[in-house]
Structure 1
Amino acid sequence: MALPAVAQVTPPGSTTPATPPNAASAQEPAHLPNPNDPGAPRKWSLHFQQTLISQWHNNLTTPYSGDYSLADRESAKLSFTSTLFIGRRLWQGAAVYFNPEVAGGSGLSGARGIAGFTNGETFRIGDPAPNLYLARLYLRQVFALGTATDVDLDDLNQVAGPTPRRYFAVNVGKFSTADFFDQNSYSHDPRTQFLNWSLMSAGGWDYAANTRGYTVGGVFEYVTPGFTARLASTLMPTEANGPTLDFHYGTAHAETVELTKVYHLRGRQGTIRALGFRNVAAMATYNTAIRLAQLTGEQPDVTLVRRAGHTKIGFGLNAEQEIAKNVGLFARVSYNDGKNETWAFTEIDHSASLGLVSTGDRWQRPDDRLGAALVVNGISPEHRAYLAAGGYGFIVGDGALNYGLEQIGEVYYSFALPTYHASISPDYQLVINPAYNRDRSGPVHVVALRLHVEF
């Protein structure tokens, strides 16, 4: 499914002060510091990750189903990804990053039937058979805006060495938009944090990506210690959830802007991000598809009424707050107009989430993470009418609809393994009204086990 990939990396160009060592952030797996001084200047950066997720749901008894419904009964499904992160410093302020990736396996019901889908790693998988492909290849150039410097540690897609505290940066090439936007220390990476799609990213942000989650374009950043502004212009896929990017930039493109502010509340660090986006592509209008179906007597089909130049606009607010030495709180709200079909992420037009993450420091497991969150997803009146008339998107469609908000709760516990480069995480999700359908409310109980290795 077309869910833009989320690199488990420190956000490029992030000047958000580092989370305190014992805070509950799990943006990357917890491990011991590199004894070889990871901040010493280097020319190369080389890292690897592999993530395996096995997921199962209970048997359901539902009155009807459609082509894109969650199956009433199915066996457990396994997904995996392996990524090589290669970085090379070129000249002053410049580096190039290259990420070949292998992905395979499957999500439950082919990653369909729940708008806030339950496995954030399945979006990279267009074919269940293992496939090797280029995930990222981009150039990053940083221009200093002063003499003060900080130190970048050796990390995924980050070469160790001094970096300006204030700067302007240009990133050009192939990447995931989510590498740069909608970051959150507690809820952004399905490889180490929450698995649900609508918890790892803002559900209402239909951000540009092909089926495997990547796009081509440019990201421009203005960065200071307490404030960051980012602007991106990127390509859209040629069709909804399509594998091929549309290089006819004049008729298909996406613009994203985000402002980030770091603050302190009673001595505890917090960050708030405000995001806006506008997508242009050959989308179909839901109402047009419904009117055509009424004339022909057939079920509505968005693929029959697509027209170049249609747009989708929306916004998102994203906040995180450290509330104790080992505990952090996060929240997101997002919205898009929902008049035209979903094109790249998932079929959510508005969403709200709230969650809490803690380290295991209180029970002498400081590298473990415990997270719990709730998310509520909804769709526009036009989108509801389309699904109720028997239409299908690319994620959901039961052939009919008794509308209700999709409600999801998730709890995970990440056990850091003794190697300090691996973790194993049991995960549980409760889904009420999957695909917004009260007639198929279940509820759905989803259990998963995730193994993540990184070095």
Structure 2
Amino acid sequence: MQKAADELRKIMTLTFPDMSFSHRKWVLVTYLMITASASIAQEFRRKEEKWSFHFQLTGIMQAHPSFDAAYSGDNSLHDSAEHELSLTTTIYLGRRLWKGAAIYYNPEVAGGSGISGAKGIAGFTNGETFRIGDPAPAFYTARLFLEQEFSLGNQQDTLYVDADANQLSGYTTRSKLVIRGGKFALSDYFDDNSLCHNPRTSFFNWSLMSNGAWDYPANTRGYTWSLMAELILPRWSLRAATALVPVYANGPDLDWHYTKAHSETIEGEYHYTIGRRQGTLRALAYRNVSKAPDYDVAAATDKDVIYGKDYGGVKYGFGLNAEQEISDNLGIFVRSSWNDGQTATWAFTEIDRSLSAGILATGASWKRPGDRLGIAFVTNGISTPHARFLNSGGYGFIIGDGKLPDQRGESIAECFYNAAVFEHCWLTADYQLVQHPAYNPDRGPVHVFAARVHIEF
């Protein structure tokens, strides 16, 4: 354990040279506690847990050099060189209640910032950052929800699930109905993809971790209060949810006037095999009702799409999501999404059309089975009303250069290598090339470099 601690200390010093000694000490102590707890937990692996405890810590240092920009606005990515550090820590607590029921609570601390305050790129480059004005670490409740399973299978349908974050180990069935109610992120259960979904372990970019045009309901930090039902069968699943939306665009508070402001999401999922190789298809649809203004109306009046005055703004959209195993150590994925683009973006990011594809390989071929190498490409777009609004001098909550005389697709390429440096700890190097940031050919291209440390148990 001492050797592992020394290795972690070296990694933190090299990766985050600006991190204070007290922060490094806190990370080191946390890691040692995790390692000791993990050893004890091995003894209880095949048992049905009554309590569950898991932990994650993710630190990302991201930077870009200076780049060409003909002009800048209030929401532009800074054209001078900059670097920023973000850090999140989450505890996952679970308690089994009666048969099929469990309650989960996730306190979280987040601090730091994205480059340029997480503004200036619609497909932003760090999925661990939020548009928070104060970079000081803040404590909040990320998730607090009740889950109830109803078995639809027989004894032959039983399987054992291992312990994981927000999952108690124990026996369940392959066919079941699951009801969840409380506070969580809809992206925890919708638009999943084993190859590109978690910015703590996979691709960093926002428009790779989810369908870019899915304006999924959430507060600034990505969570909402929701009620959802999920029918899970061996070959296919169907899930639906209704949730609260923010009081104003990307705001921290949720609107409890449910009859006037709400969001509905539905998704179907199908598992198949081609030869011996597994694949999954997902299709998603959503509809949001909020105070989101119409882009054309806002462009002709006060240009305010952040603080809507009247209820009745409707946004709807669709998303497709596929992943396919190519070999034991290689998979490919593709996502495509669209929304109507008439009313302002209210929660996620300012993307009205998105198409992405990529590959993910394990390091087994070069005798590093715990490592991952990923390469992906994504192109994002906006609707004509959205472009007219930005060209009129309007600003959304993430993009706006003061004008947009010639909009182009925002194209992003990302490549990362995630190395398992020792048990429970991964170190990642990442590079992203952003063409036409915020759909503006008069700015960029931008080269973004990053390093990530992730610890989980």
TM-score (norm. length: structure 2)? 0.89
State the match for 2:453 in structure 1.
Answer: 451
Higher relative contact order (CA 8 A, sep 6+): 1
Tell me the distance in 1 between the aligned counterparts of 2:132 and 2:251: 12
Does the 8 Å CA contact 2:68/2:445 hold for their aligned counterparts? no
State the match for 1:245 in structure 2.
Answer: 254
Tell me the distance in 2 between the aligned counterparts of 1:167 and 1:33: 31
1:123 alignment partner, SS class: coil
The answer to whether structure 1 residue 290 and structure 2 residue 299 are counterparts is yes
State the match for 1:7 in structure 2.
Answer: none
Tell me the distance in 1 between the aligned counterparts of 2:221 and 2:392: 30
Tell me the distance in 2 between the aligned counterparts of 1:33 and 1:395: 45
The answer to whether structure 1 residue 110 and structure 2 residue 117 are counterparts is yes
Letter in 2 for 1:208: P
Does the 8 Å CA contact 1:270/1:320 hold for their aligned counterparts? yes
Letter in 1 for 2:420: A
Tell me the distance in 1 between the aligned counterparts of 2:307 and 2:407: 25
Tell me the distance in 2 between the aligned counterparts of 1:66 and 1:126: 18
Does the 8 Å CA contact 1:106/1:128 hold for their aligned counterparts? yes
Report the Cα offset of residue 37 of structure 1.
5.3
Q: For residues 250-299 of structure 1, what are the alpha-carbon distances to aligned partners after superposition, in whole Å with 9 as ceiling and x for unaligned?
A: 00000000000000012100000000000000110001012225xxxxxx
Report the Cα offset of residue 125 of structure 1.
4.7
Tell me the distance in 2 between the aligned counterparts of 1:385 and 1:208: 25
Report the Cα offset of residue 404 of structure 1.
0.4
State the match for 1:137 in structure 2.
Answer: 144
Does the 8 Å CA contact 1:289/1:305 hold for their aligned counterparts? no
Q: 1:129 to 1:259 in 2, by over 3 A?
A: same
Report the Cα offset of residue 126 of structure 1.
5.5
State the match for 1:17 in structure 2.
Answer: none
State the match for 1:169 in structure 2.
Answer: 178
State the match for 1:21 in structure 2.
Answer: none
Letter in 2 for 1:142: E
1:451 alignment partner, SS class: strand
Q: For residues 113-153 of structure 1, what are the alpha-carbon distances to aligned partners after superposition, in whole Å with 9 as ceiling and x for unaligned?
A: 00000000002755310000000000000011122211111
The equivalences for 1:210-225 within 5 A come to: 210-225=219-234
Tell me the distance in 1 between the aligned counterparts of 2:125 and 2:237: 31
Tell me the distance in 1 between the aligned counterparts of 2:270 and 2:145: 26
Q: For residues 151-200 of structure 1, what are the alpha-carbon distances to aligned partners after superposition, in whole Å with 9 as ceiling and x for unaligned?
A: 11111000000012111110000000001100000000000000000000
Tell me the distance in 2 between the aligned counterparts of 1:144 and 1:331: 32
Tell me the distance in 2 between the aligned counterparts of 1:90 and 1:209: 28
Which range moves more in the overlay, 267-276 or 32-41? 32-41
Kindly, what percent of the aligned residue pairs are identical? 54
- Compare the two structures and name the one with the higher helix fraction: 2
Match of 2:412 among 398, 408, 411: 408
Measured on the aligned residues, the alpha-carbon RMSD in Å equals 1.5
Report the Cα offset of residue 74 of structure 1.
3.9
Match of 1:203 among 195, 208, 212: 212
TM-score (norm. length: structure 1)? 0.90
Letter in 2 for 1:408: I
Report the Cα offset of residue 32 of structure 1.
11
Match of 2:126 among 119, 125, 142: 119
Letter in 1 for 2:339: N
Match of 1:310 among 310, 313, 319: 313
State the match for 2:200 in structure 1.
Answer: 191
Report the Cα offset of residue 36 of structure 1.
2.7
How many residues end up aligned between the 2 structures? 417
Report the Cα offset of residue 40 of structure 1.
2.1
State the match for 2:421 in structure 1.
Answer: 417
Does the 8 Å CA contact 2:117/2:131 hold for their aligned counterparts? no
The answer to whether structure 1 residue 67 and structure 2 residue 69 are counterparts is no
Letter in 1 for 2:239: R
Match of 1:182 among 191, 195, 208: 191
State the match for 1:281 in structure 2.
Answer: 290
2:388 alignment partner, SS class: helix
Does the 8 Å CA contact 2:117/2:132 hold for their aligned counterparts? no
Report the Cα offset of residue 415 of structure 1.
0.6
Does the 8 Å CA contact 1:212/1:243 hold for their aligned counterparts? yes
Tell me the distance in 2 between the aligned counterparts of 1:178 and 1:356: 21
Tell me the distance in 2 between the aligned counterparts of 1:45 and 1:35: 13
Q: For residues 19-50 of structure 1, what are the alpha-carbon distances to aligned partners after superposition, in whole Å with 9 as ceiling and x for unaligned?
A: xxxxxxxxxxxx99974353421101101100
Match of 1:357 among 354, 357, 360: 360
Q: For residues 387-425 of structure 1, what are the alpha-carbon distances to aligned partners after superposition, in whole Å with 9 as ceiling and x for unaligned?
A: 01110000000001120000000000001012x200000
Letter in 2 for 1:103: A
Tell me the distance in 2 between the aligned counterparts of 1:32 and 1:274: 40
The answer to whether structure 1 residue 324 and structure 2 residue 333 are counterparts is no
Match of 1:77 among 73, 84, 93: 84
Q: For residues 355-377 of structure 1, what are the alpha-carbon distances to aligned partners after superposition, in whole Å with 9 as ceiling and x for unaligned?
A: 00000001000000000000000
Q: 1:363 to 1:303 in 2, by over 3 A?
A: closer
1:202 alignment partner, SS class: coil
Match of 2:338 among 335, 339, 344: 335
Report the Cα offset of residue 310 of structure 1.
1.2
Tell me the distance in 2 between the aligned counterparts of 1:240 and 1:52: 27
Q: Which runs of 5+ in 2 are unaligned?
A: 1-37
